[in-house]
Amino acid sequence: MGERDIHVPVLLERCLELLAPALARPGALYLDATLGLGGHAEAVLRAHPGVRLLGLDRDPQALGLAGRRLAPFADRIRLVHAVYDELPEVLAGEQIDGGLFDLGVSSLQLDDAARGFAYAQDAPLDMRMDQTRGITAAEVLNTYSHGDLARVLRVYGEEKFASRIAQFIVRERAKTPLTGSARLAELVREAIPAPARRTGGHPAKRTFQALRIEVNGELAVLERAVPAALDALKPGGRLVVLSYHSLEDRLVKQAIAERTRSTAPVELPFEPPGSEPTLRALTRGAELPDAAEIAANPRAASVRLRAVERKDRPKRTDTLGEV
């Protein structure tokens, strides 16, 4: 099975539709901040023969696979091993016409059991998106205090049994270090009371999510990256963000909200220059996948899509107060 066969880009047609007006411009620069296996990027390059791609990914394995997939477009692509909050350094002042963030764990990372992201398969507890650097999930589990473990599970996993799960982890690691995903999943199941295990999917889902976010610093990175991408948009440029859980979506929503409303005091009868919104929302809140999308691609079930367009700055007038 090739990488094309295991990777179905989420909300592909909707992303193409939203980005099209910005990418139709001659020589447009398209940012794929989370390149993954290159599914969205390939579709953009096929749809827009004049577009140049800047593709970022923190996972060297993903970059290699995406590079092979996008080889037919070699003269129009630049692929960079970087975390997306490093965007300002990568762009070095260049602006983008369109961009996409497809957040969360990629198909490649989920499907490769050896990476330790999935609770359904036993593997070493790694969970690093970039295996060349950083702390592993096993190190977190075996070195964090009970309080820190509980905080990670509660904040990043929204796990109401966080303290109890942390207690089970600390007790287990005193006997033998935690190294495998199967044992961790079993331990979480033991920690969660039986009535609570009957609903909400696999009981270890929230714990694995929390560890992944902690290991990769995902929320801190996202909090820096989205404003940087918005700053890099040209007037008329568009950004699409796909989020997969409420913590991601909340940060994206906040970053967008700050720029889609005026900064002028509400009591003023006019809008002073420089206080106008710099973005226009292209979606009403977050768009959700329909039943057909979920049937075709079950990983789309939790996606939330938000999209914005950079507004042209209004022309200055000499008469203050005219409305």
Residues 6+ apart with CB under 8 A from 256: 226, 230, 279, 281, 306, 308
pLDDT digits (tens, 9 = 90+) for 181-218: 999 999 999 999 988 887 777 899 999 999 999 999 99
pLDDT (0 to 100) of residue 197: 82
For the four alpha carbons of 148, 208, 161 and 174, in that order, the dihedral sign comes to negative
Q: Which domains does the chain have, with CATH numbers?
A: 3-102+219-310 (3.40.50.150), 111-216 (1.10.150.170)
pLDDT band for 2, please (50, 70, 90 cuts).
very low
d(CA 161, CA 189): 11
Distance (Å) of CA 157 to CA 25, 146, 197, 214: 41, 16, 16, 10
Q: Which residues are annotated as a binding site for S-adenosyl-L-methionine?
A: 38-40, 57, 84, 102, 109
pLDDT digits (tens, 9 = 90+) for 62-114: 999 999 999 999 999 999 999 999 999 999 999 999 999 999 876 666 666 66
Q: Give 87's strand partners.
A: none
pLDDT (0 to 100) of residue 5: 42
pLDDT digits (tens, 9 = 90+) for 9-64: 999 999 999 999 999 999 999 999 999 999 999 999 999 999 999 999 999 999 99
pLDDT (0 to 100) of residue 192: 94
DSSP string computed for 164-231: HHHHHHHHHHHHS---BHHHHHHHHHHHS-HHHHTSSS-TTHHHHHHHHHHHHTHHHHHHHHHHHHHH
pLDDT (0 to 100) of residue 21: 98
Q: Give 151's strand partners.
A: none
Q: Which long-range contacts (CB under 8 A, 24 or more apart) does 264-270 make?
A: 269/321, 269/323, 270/320, 270/321, 270/322, 270/323
pLDDT (0 to 100) of residue 323: 32
Task: Look at residue 271 and give its three-state secondary structure.
Answer: coil
Q: Which residues are annotated as a binding site?
A: 38-40, 57, 84, 102, 109
pLDDT exceeds cutoff 90 at 321 = no
How far from chain centre, in Å, is Cα 54?
17
d(CA 215, CA 136): 6
pLDDT band for 116, please (50, 70, 90 cuts).
low
pLDDT digits (tens, 9 = 90+) for 262-317: 665 656 655 666 668 899 999 999 999 999 999 999 889 999 999 999 997 654 44
pLDDT (0 to 100) of residue 3: 42
pLDDT (0 to 100) of residue 198: 75
